[in-house]
């Protein structure tokens, strides 16, 4: 009988802290040995000579089989979305079970669970989107779902159908503080977007390029400042998602310097696209419309600095796939106004290759920072570690074996999503995952998928240290201080 089910031999094993030439011994779903020239036999061996063995990626922000607030279903279901993720080196995804106004949370989660269970090929967990924080949702449904292992949720400060006000935000934060959940925030100033959009449309400016104008940099910075202050008031850690601007980056950095538990996330579109990409003939610019929108070269440089200096702990895809047809981007007709375009760009398969090529390959990031941003730290923050996001004895055998020298010219037909286009068409990159393992199963090898739909597993998550408050309530919420103030009149 073989000692191992699988040994990955002769590769360079890379984690967030170390790089070691060694073999990886796998039995069942777990890593059971790490060492040079593992002596015992295996049912199968993979030769990784000259290759990098990295933890499978953790994409902590992606929209899969989700209906938007405008009623448009995303292009990828749990099969095509997770297949695409796997081919890009990602082995765990955290998409969103989205509550819309008037909905109860539990049926939303039950429906989403069925969809994922039947189709996903890699492991997955859920975030909750909270758009209607009623008394029943906050008092009963949300606490029960957090305790069941869905330990993160997202709220919006914009979109008519999704946004919550400051009072509701504080109420959500209160539940999160008590239950140990992490709150993610889409931070943009809704009224600023609304006002600018009205001015543009009144002047006949309808083209997709005006989407970038309407979502002002100042509005993102203001909303980021505001939600940080409210989180400080309630002493609740939050994570600001898909940061695109210098202003928002500076707000997060300032809060972190003050000792606040504020985490930041950014995405490929803010490194590799700009607002100029929305300025295409006809409706072509709609392919690049997402919120917040891509900015300019100076904002790109600020985002790179934020990745390098630790302002951002997470690099996610924010994969929001809509086809460029009447089922997606052009649901309102062949020439929609910028307010009628479905917001989002695809990127789940290219998240890791883009950052590897342009970050590690060009010296902007070290390989350990790459692993931390794309796997280890999101696993820790979202309660998946140490099972996911690292290569260690006892961890799940989730591995992405990379050829750092492989060159690829990005083209939509090479990808495995159901979108039909990529905003990164024609870009030449270097470095690509050639073999991908999920819980010891060889999911991708030689360009082929080797697992069945529905073979991924749901991950119940625990609260992580990132979600624990510091115990420093704002003075107005500190009973001792209030008592003293009352005594003084």
274-287 pLDDT tens trace: 999 999 999 999 99
Work out the pLDDT band at 470, boundaries 50, 70, 90. confident
Work out the pLDDT band at 463, boundaries 50, 70, 90. confident
Q: What is the mean pLDDT of the chain?
A: 95
Whether residue 69 has pLDDT greater than 90: no
Q: What is the mean pLDDT of residues 336-344?
A: 96
CA separation for the pair 75, 209 (Å, rounded) = 23
Whether residue 482 has pLDDT greater than 50: no
Question: Which residue did the predictor score with more confidence, 470 or 309?
Answer: 309
Whether residue 2 has pLDDT greater than 90: no
CA torsion 237-320-439-408 (nearest 10°) is: -120
Triad 337, 243, 384: Cα angle to 5° = 120
Whether residue 302 has pLDDT greater than 90: yes
What is the model's pLDDT at position 487?
A: 35
Residue for token pair 């591995």: 399
CA 170 to mean position of chain CA atoms = 23
Whether residue 324 has pLDDT greater than 60: yes
At the top level of CATH, the class of 57-386 is alpha beta
Work out the pLDDT band at 41, boundaries 50, 70, 90. confident
Question: Which residue did the predictor score with more confidence, 231 or 486?
Answer: 231
Considering the domain 4-55+389-449 in this protein, what is its CATH number? 2.30.40.10
Show contacts of 200-206: CB within 8 Å, 24+ apart: 200/338, 201/337, 201/339, 206/335, 206/337, 206/338
Whether residue 488 has pLDDT greater than 60: no
CA separation for the pair 356, 447 (Å, rounded) = 19
What is the model's pLDDT at position 476?
A: 72
Q: What is the mean pLDDT of residues 425-439?
A: 98
Work out the pLDDT band at 1, boundaries 50, 70, 90. low
Question: Which residue did the predictor score with more confidence, 477 or 420?
Answer: 420
pTM of the full structure: 0.96
CA separation for the pair 221, 248 (Å, rounded) = 4
Whether residue 92 has pLDDT greater than 50: yes
CA torsion 161-167-168-174 (nearest 10°) is: 160
What is the model's pLDDT at position 473?
A: 75
* Residue range 410-427, pLDDT digits in tens: 999 999 999 999 999 999
CA separation for the pair 411, 389 (Å, rounded) = 28
Whether residue 171 has pLDDT greater than 50: yes
What is the model's pLDDT at position 483?
A: 40
The domain segmentation of the chain, as residue ranges, is 4-55+389-449, 57-386
8 Å CB contact between 33 and 4: yes
Determine how many CB atoms are found less than 10 A away from the CB of residue 220: 32
What is the model's pLDDT at position 472?
A: 77
CA separation for the pair 178, 2 (Å, rounded) = 48
Joined tokens for residue 293: 């929108």
What is the model's pLDDT at position 68?
A: 87
Q: What is the mean pLDDT of residues 16-31?
A: 97
CA 459 to mean position of chain CA atoms = 16
Lowest mean pLDDT among 57-71, 295-309, 360-374, 400-414: 57-71
Nearest to 265 by CA among 319, 301, 320, 316: 316
Q: What is the mean pLDDT of residues 57-72?
A: 94
CA torsion 246-98-139-473 (nearest 10°) is: -10
Work out the pLDDT band at 478, boundaries 50, 70, 90. low
What is the model's pLDDT at position 480?
A: 53
Q: What is the mean pLDDT of residues 107-136?
A: 97
CA separation for the pair 206, 340 (Å, rounded) = 9
């Amino acid at each position: 009988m073989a000692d191992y089910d699988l040994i990955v031999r002769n590769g360079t094993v890379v984690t967030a802290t170390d790089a070691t030439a060694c073999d990886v011994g796998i039995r069942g779903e777990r890593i059971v040995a790490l060492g040079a020239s593992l002596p015992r036999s295996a049912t199968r061996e993979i030769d990784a000579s000259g290759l990098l063995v990295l933890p499978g990626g953790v994409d902590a922000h992606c929209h899969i089989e989700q209906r938007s607030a405008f009623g448009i279903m995303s292009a990828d279901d749990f099969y095509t979305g997770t297949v695409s993720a796997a081919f890009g080196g990602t082995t765990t995804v955290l998409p969103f079970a989205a509550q819309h106004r008037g909905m109860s949370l539990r049926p939303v989660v039950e429906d989403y669970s069925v969809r994922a269970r039947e189709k996903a090929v890699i492991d997955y967990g859920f975030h909750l989107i909270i758009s209607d924080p009623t008394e029943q949702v906050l008092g009963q449904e949300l606490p029960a779902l957090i305790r069941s292992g869905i330990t993160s949720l997202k709220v919006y400060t914009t979109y008519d159908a999704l946004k919550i006000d400051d009072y509701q935000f504080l109420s959500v934060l209160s539940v999160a503080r008590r239950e140990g959940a992490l709150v993610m925030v889409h931070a943009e100033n809704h009224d600023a977007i609304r006002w600018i959009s009205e001015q543009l449309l009144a002047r006949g400016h309808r083209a997709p390029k005006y989407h970038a104008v309407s979502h002002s940099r100042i509005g993102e910075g203001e909303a980021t400042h505001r939600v940080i202050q409210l989180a400080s008031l309630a002493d609740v850690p939050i994570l600001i998602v898909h940061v695109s601007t210098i202003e928002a980056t500076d707000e997060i950095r300032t809060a972190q310097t003050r000792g606040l538990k504020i985490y930041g996330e950014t995405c490929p579109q803010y490194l590799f696209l700009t607002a100029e990409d929305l300025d295409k003939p006809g409706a072509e610019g709609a392919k690049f419309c997402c919120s917040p929108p891509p900015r300019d070269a100076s904002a790109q440089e600020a985002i790179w600095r934020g990745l390098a200096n630790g302002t951002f702990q997470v690099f996610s895809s924010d994969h929001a796939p809509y086809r460029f047809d009447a089922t997606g981007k052009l649901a309102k007709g062949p020439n929609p106004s910028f307010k009628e375009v479905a917001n989002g760009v695809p990127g789940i398969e290219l998240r890791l290759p883009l950052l590897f090529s342009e970050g590690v390959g060009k010296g902007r990031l070290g390989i350990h920072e790459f692993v931390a941003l794309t796997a280890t730290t999101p696993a820790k923050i979202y309660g998946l570690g140490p099972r996911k996001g690292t290569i260690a004895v006892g961890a799940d055998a989730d591995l992405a074996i990379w050829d750092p020298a492989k060159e690829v010219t990005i083209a939509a037909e090479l990808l495995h999503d159901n979108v039909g286009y990529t905003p990164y068409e024609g870009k030449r990159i270097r470095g690509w995952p050639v073999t991908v393992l999920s819980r010891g199963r060889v999911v991708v090898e030689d360009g082929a998928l080797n697992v069945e739909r529905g073979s991924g597993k749901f991950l119940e998550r625990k609260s992580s240290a990132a979600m624990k408050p510091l115990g420093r309530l704002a003075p107005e919420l500190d009973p001792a201080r209030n008592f003293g103030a009352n005594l003084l009149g």
